Amino acid sequence: MDIAIVGAGGRMGQMLVRHAAKTPGIRLVGATEVPGSNGVGRDSGEMAGIERNGVTITDDAATAIGAAQAVIDFTIPAATVRHAEIAAARGVAVVIGTTGLDAAQTAAIHAVATKVPVMWAANMALGVNILLALVEKTAAMLDPSYDIEIVEMHHRHKIDAPSGTALALGRSVAAGRKVKLEDVWRKSRDGHTGARPVGEIGFATLRGGEEVGVHTVMFAAAGERLELSHRSFSRETYAAGAMRAAAWLEGRPAGLYTMKDVLGL
């Protein structure tokens, strides 16, 4: 599978480059950065801290993506949409790990998925996707007297809150309770908020340091509290999932897929 990695000079991009180098069946053929980045013109392997791989980082996304069978994108919403549309025009599959897209950007990704296969996941770690399945089943088993709170923490540089993974966990919980998340969520609390409504799904967001990602779903009732939690110690888990997703997309028809599809959950 020939892949291109956009944002190859960033922390996640460098991790993807490193993981591509050691993944059987994956060949890196393109790497990009934004114009003016200090990564443009550098060997992507060297920048990622491994041996030179002969793939120079370019600011020409169209050429880099067009040379691949799949593009992997963990950048920012506006760039992700632009890259996905380039891929659609060239018949290239898309793997997206970007979160924080607004309604219009989400609609644009759905439009791309009518033309090429797109795997879009808030989190590509195997453990997180198992957690998504577990919290949905748990929410379905417990009655509304159990209050549900989702707590997440990420590094100080993360730009969206709550995290895409926290929101995905919220949607799994809501699915288990057969409600719409937007009807019952509480993303923040401040001041005199009054008693907690029955059935509310709360979110708490923490930011600081270099924390890769911690997510905990709490089911709290009188006399007990059940917690289901996952912590990522390295972005390598995301990179491994992205490579697996890229390989899985080969030969798939156009459509919007998730890591549940890739993992057969």
Give the model confidence (pLDDT) of 51-106 as tens digits: 999 999 999 999 999 999 999 999 999 999 999 999 999 999 999 999 889 999 99
Nearest to 62 by CA among 4, 134, 108, 125: 4
pLDDT band at residue 265 under the 50/70/90 scheme:
confident
At 189 the pLDDT is 87
The verdict on 114 and 239 lying in the same domain is yes
Share of the chain above pLDDT 90, in %: 85
What are the angstrom distances between the C-alpha of 116 and each of 13, 107, 139?
Answer: 23, 15, 34
Q: Are residues 220 and 169 in the same domain?
A: yes
Judgement on whether residues 108 and 145 belong to the same structural domain of the protein: no
pLDDT band at residue 160 under the 50/70/90 scheme? confident
pLDDT at position 188: 87
Q: What's the rounded mean pLDDT across residues 169-194?
A: 93
Residue 15 has pLDDT above 80, yes or no: yes
CA–CA distance, 57 with 7 (Å, rounded to integer): 9
Q: What residues contact residue 108 under an 8 Å CB cut-off, 6+ apart? A: 81, 84, 85
Catalytic residue among 154, 155, 215, 260: 154
Name the pLDDT band for 8 (thresholds 50, 70, 90). very high
Residues 95 and 137 in one domain: no
Cβ neighbour number for residue 81 with a 10 Å cutoff:
24
Domain containing residue 240: 2-120+235-263
Same domain, 228 and 158: yes
Our answer to whether residue 157 is catalytic in this structure is no
Q: Give, as one character, the DSSP assignment of residue 56.
A: B
Asked whether residue 197 falls in the same domain as residue 214, the answer is: yes
Write down the H helix ranges in the chain: 11-21, 44-47, 61-66, 77-90, 103-112, 126-141, 164-177, 181-184, 236-249, 259-263
Query: Per residue in 118-159, pLDDT tens?
Result: 999 988 888 998 999 999 999 999 998 999 999 999 999 988
List 22, 110, 155, 158, catalytic entry: 158
CA dist list (Å): 182 to 176, 186, 209:
14, 9, 30
Are 10 and 106 in a shared domain?
Answer: yes
Do residues 209 and 162 share a domain?
A: yes
161 with 174, same domain? Answer: yes
Domain count, the chain: 2
pLDDT at res. 235? 81
Residue 3: the pLDDT is 98
> Residue 170, exposed/middle/buried by CB under 10 A (0-12, 13-18, 19+)?
buried
Residues 138, 204: one domain?
yes
Q: Report CA Rg, the chain.
A: 19
> Does 209 share its domain with 228?
yes
Active site residue 158: yes
Same domain flag for 137 and 102 = no
Confidence of residue 35 (pLDDT cuts 50, 70, 90): very high
Q: Say what the pLDDT of residue 236 is.
A: 87
The domain that holds 190 is classified in CATH as 3.30.360.10
